[in-house]
Amino acid sequence: EIVMTQSPATLSVSPGERATLSCRASQSVSSNLAWYQQKPGQAPRLLIFGASTRATGIPARFSGSGSGTEFTLSISSLQSEDFAVYYCQQHNYWPLTFGGGTKVEIK
């Protein structure tokens, strides 16, 4: 099973600043990596798939990069609605696995 490790567990950022979230896979997953945003009491929302392709309707301030075992989600200028928990998921191997999440909180 591929283990996905996200860091940091919590990221404190001021509105308008840039946030950089990391996700590491225990072995290469090529570019088969997705990112999700989850707000309290809500279902996750797909942000990025294939490591760098934004899902429909996702603002351009969200960008994904990386391949192999190291991936990054960047949010260029944090808006109030971006404070949430973010999960990565590898979609290269069975079983599909998620990272433990990074909580982005207001500094």
CB 66 within 8 A of CB 57: no
Q: Give me the least distance between CB of 9 and another protein, in Å please.
A: 11
Q: Tell me whether residue 16 or residue 95 sits nearer to another protein (CB atom).
A: 95
- Check binding of 80 to another protein (CB under 8 A): no
Q: Tell me whether residue 14 or residue 81 sits nearer to another protein (CB atom).
A: 81
For residue 65, the SS3 value is strand
Rounded distance between C-alpha atoms, residue 10 and residue 103, angstroms: 5
Q: Tell me whether residue 68 or residue 100 sits nearer to another protein (CB atom).
A: 100
- Check binding of 31 to another protein (CB under 8 A): no
CB 96 within 8 A of CB 1: no
Taking contact as CB under 8 A, which single stretch among the options 9-17, 64-72, 73-81, 93-101 is the one that binds another protein?
93-101
- Check binding of 34 to another protein (CB under 8 A): yes
Assign 3-state DSSP to the chain and report helix, strand, coil percentages, each to 5: 5, 50, 50
